[in-house]
Structure 1
């Protein structure tokens, strides 16, 4: 069962994260978009900085708007059954997604945006529900699958200007995070 304080805490952390995304984009836009240069730039030293900061950055307000509701919904759901576990899962998704892009994406490209987290959280929530076997987490996983499974086509190449690599490696990070945080051990 999910406790009332878990809902409150998950909402506060998620709300603060969404607010941070918006503050960063306002600052970036007001100063001529200098933060855009800090996305993941594959196989470059300066691009490694992007592994740490790219999910916080967006290439304009349209980009941020398209990520805001999924970040709010999925981020909340990732945290509501345990803040520490949800933050650990987010860190795994963040690093696996960023490093995957850094290693495998095309040269001379720049990748940023919270969609790496969105795709990671989708897979994390679906897989985790089935790994734990807990009713609340299964229900969350089923709901996420029903609402967001169509988005998973975003892991395939094809839409210009969209980092399918970020989506793919975010999703893989979500699967890994679910496995590492499920609490079940194979015998």
Structure 2
């Protein structure tokens, strides 16, 4: 007997990621339509006025290429988050934005840091490390998939290229790892069989009762009670007499 499948699919698995991405594109469209920039709402490290970007920076992008490069991984990773970690998905998103943004504010260079890439690193890091820690075959497979698709992002956590907020990427990576260690008991549990339960007693297992101590199959015959009959009881031993009658016509 197995437990119920821990990863059921519902419409909100894709509905929430699509809604979030549509919001990002809507904000960018408003900037283009009215000809102004919201970059001043990004994170500006070590300045009190720059703290506003801790909340707003993931919703602001410098251009359509910047936004497009964040759209696909954000959709893939947030969909995986809602499917495999639905009970804590909103916590990961909300606290991921706040903590990664604040850490960026603490360690970042004096410049505006904008974009959802910090949140993407939170999701990628959390999904990868949580799958490894959980030891569930599906979550481990998901971790390997994330490593295959986005493993190269690790290089963007180093100051190798101008114009990229490696501080935001590094902050997201560290926050995701932190979440993977903190959120231990709020994820779907692996399926367990009856014999994997701590209180399992093999003597009460109906299936194992068909085998002897050496593992040989023992066929048990269930005796059924016959209905009562009006026939007289027969006492053993029983004597049967045969009478042979000769056929004279032959």
Mark the CA change 1:46 to 1:84 in structure 2 (over 3 Å): closer, same or farther: farther
CA distance in 2, matches of 1:86, 1:96: 15
Give the C-alpha shift of residue 181 in structure 1. 1.5
Tell me the residue number matched to 1:22: 25
CA distance in 1, matches of 2:35, 2:149: 36
User: Contact between 1:89 and 1:178, CA under 8 Å: does it hold in 2?
Assistant: no
The alignment partner of 1:68 has SS state of helix
Of structures 1 and 2, the one with the larger relative CO (CA 8 A, separation 6+) is 1
- Structure 1: 5+ residue runs without aligned partners? none
CA deviations over 1:119-147 (Å, ceiling 9, x no partner): 11111111000122222221111111111
Tell me the residue number matched to 2:114: 112
Tell me the residue number matched to 2:9: 4
Tell me the residue number matched to 2:217: none
User: Contact between 1:54 and 1:113, CA under 8 Å: does it hold in 2?
Assistant: yes
CA distance in 1, matches of 2:109, 2:32: 26
- Structure 2: 5+ residue runs without aligned partners? 1-5, 187-250
Q: TM-score, normalising length from structure 1?
A: 0.91
User: Contact between 2:44 and 2:105, CA under 8 Å: does it hold in 1?
Assistant: yes
Q: Which has the larger radius of gyration?
A: 2
CA distance in 2, matches of 1:162, 1:31: 26
Tell me the residue number matched to 1:121: 123
CA distance in 2, matches of 1:173, 1:23: 27
Would you say 1:133 and 2:135 are equivalent positions?
yes
CA distance in 2, matches of 1:92, 1:138: 24
User: Which of 49, 57, 67 does residue 54 from structure 1 map onto?
Assistant: 57
Equivalent residues in 2 for 1:71-150, closer than 5 Å: 71-107=74-110, 109-150=111-152
CA deviations over 1:70-90 (Å, ceiling 9, x no partner): 111011111112334122112
Please state which structure has a larger fraction of its residues in helix: 1
CA distance in 2, matches of 1:72, 1:132: 23
Give the C-alpha shift of residue 93 in structure 1. 2.0
CA deviations over 1:162-187 (Å, ceiling 9, x no partner): 00000000111111111121228xxx
RMSD: 1.4
The count of aligned residue pairs is 181
